[in-house]
Structure formats: C-alpha cells, structure tokens
Amino acid sequence: MPKKTIKKYLPSPQKIKQMRILNLFGTLLHDGNLWHLNRRSARGAFAVGLFWAWMPLPFQMVFSALMAVPFRVNLPLSVALVWISNPLTMPVMFYLCYLIGTVVLKAPPEPFLFEASFEWLFHSMKTIGKPLITGCLLMGITASIVGYFAIDWLWRLSIRKEKLARYIKYKQRRAQSPPK
C-alpha cells in the first residue's frame, strides 16, 4: 500500500517543526491534517512538493512547507518531494525547462552551463531567465497535476487490490470449512 511505502521515507514531524521559518504559523502546525497520511493529504502533498521541485529557487523545502500549511496537506511528504531536484538532477531538469521555455517563447537558445550557486542564478536570469522560468513554471504545473492524479490512482488501486485479496482469502476459507 502506498501509505506504508511513503511513511518509510518521510522526515519526522520533529525535524520539520525545527524549521524556524515555520514558527510564523504558530499553532497552525498542530493541525492533524499536516501530519496525517491519507489519500487526500498525500495527493495534495505530491502536487505541492512536485511543483516546488521544479522551481529554480534556493530553499525550495521552505516554500513547499509554506504552501502545505494553508492547503492542509501532508507537510513532511511535501517537503520530502522537493528533493527530487537535487545537485545530481538539477542540471538536467533545468536544462529541460530552459529548452521548453525557448520553444514556448520562440526564443533562440543560448549557451547554458548550469552551476548550483547564487551567482549563476542571478547572472543567468539576465540572459536565460525568461525561458528558464517559463519552462520551470510549465514543468512545475505539469508535474503537480500528474503527481496529484497519479498518487490518487495508485492509492485507489492499492485499496482495490487489498479488498480483492481479502475477498479471495474469505472465499478460500469458506471453501475449506466443512458444511454445517
């Protein structure tokens, strides 16, 4: 079931609550929906986390957490999903976003050498900023929508499988039990 698999990889609530920026939410962090894992909170967390994973910003986890609180989705899951974009995947992800942005804006491609630094981010915004941001927004929105519906479908599928397995076990027990 997705719930067991997801819970295995989630950061602990204590670790999330230690993020100083989240103190501005005060008692809102005590909302059970932020920590409970069900289909609704998981699909929303996938939407939030996957959106911010595609944004070329520092502190993506903070933005994901800030968005998870008002939407009342699973906070640890939304923060963990941001790590899809990590130092290994960022160059490929952002280059893809840049290419998509050049196609959408019909802009000529320019040389693109990714560097994981603030200096590169500020310098590149002058040259490749519009296509990069456009592509990142499109990919973030797309990943968010796909993630939302994919986790919902997987969750429903696992529930159906579980019910079918219980039904089969029930039928087997009934067939093996002696008639009265």
Helices (H), 75-176: 75-81, 90-105, 118-127, 129-176
Whole-model pTM: value is: 0.77
The reported pLDDT for the residue numbered 121 is 73
149-177 per-position pLDDT tens digit: 999 999 999 999 999 999 999 888 888 87
Q: Find where tokens 């204590």 sit.
A: 14
Cα separation, 61 vs 48, whole angstroms: 10
**Residues in the chain with pLDDT values less than 50:** none
Across all residues in the chain, what is the average pLDDT?
Answer: 85
